[in-house]
Amino acid sequence: MKTLIFNLVAVLVLFVLGCQENSVTDPLLTESADKIQLDDNYKHGTIDLQRMLKDPRPIGNSFYRVLGQIEYRISSGNAETNSEEHNLSVRLSVDADLQYFCSVCSPSYEDDLAGFLSEVSVENVAVAGNSVTLLEKTYRIEGRDDGMLLKFRFFVTTGEMKLSAVWLALENQSVNATTKY
């Protein structure tokens, strides 16, 4: 009987010890990890891209479908929040596919992939007071031989970023953005 009670107590102790967190596998915290804090002026968001864009080449009724998203992160470089001008760092991460769109066929997500875009960029933007600043970005579409570009126009404030226009252009072509997003 003594050995039965002793074995039950031993099993119970082993069970309790086995259920405790193992400090050996806990991640190590370094001094630099303790210093990481998010700035109060840190803003982020995602802009979905689902848009039909006109082919910049003068070919009849030709279009492309842009599918993807833009992730942005805005952080302020100002130490003072009462400053008249805010120096912002805007990080853009763009991932999008460009598909040829047949204007006489029914739309299909299986249309030919005509190019893609996967790029990260950081821009410094100055925003005066509570105003809006325009930011234009141009990205080369990968997987194409004609130098087609995807251009964006953003409205940037200290708290958010909105897509104003998006259009396709060729490298040596000056086209104004007429497509509102």
Task: List, for residues 82-100, the tens digit of each pLDDT value.
Answer: 567 888 999 999 999 999 8
User: 71: closest CA among 52, 41, 50, 91?
Assistant: 91
pLDDT at position 86? 84
The domain spans of the chain are 38-170
Q: Which residue has the tokens 């141009």?
A: 138
Question: For the whole prediction, is pTM greater than 0.75?
Answer: no
Q: Which of 68-77, 80-89, 165-174 has the highest mean pLDDT?
A: 68-77
Task: List, for residues 105-156, the tens digit of each pLDDT value.
Answer: 666 666 678 899 999 999 999 998 888 999 999 999 999 888 899 999 999 9
pLDDT at position 111? 65
**Which residues, other chains included, contact 78 with Cβ-Cβ below 8 Å and sequence gap of 6+?**
41, 86, 87
Q: In this structure, are residues 89 and 120 in contact, taking their beta carbons and an 8 Å threshold?
A: no
Per-residue pLDDT, averaged over 158-167, amounts to 91
Q: What percent of the chain has pLDDT over 70?
A: 65
**Which residues, other chains included, contact 119 with Cβ-Cβ below 8 Å and sequence gap of 6+?**
93, 94, 139
Residue 152: HSE in the Cβ half-sphere, 13 Å Cα cutoff: 24
CB-based burial, 68-89: b 16+ in 10 Å, e otherwise: bebebebebeeeeeeeeebebe
Query: Per-residue pLDDT for 35 more than 60?
Result: no
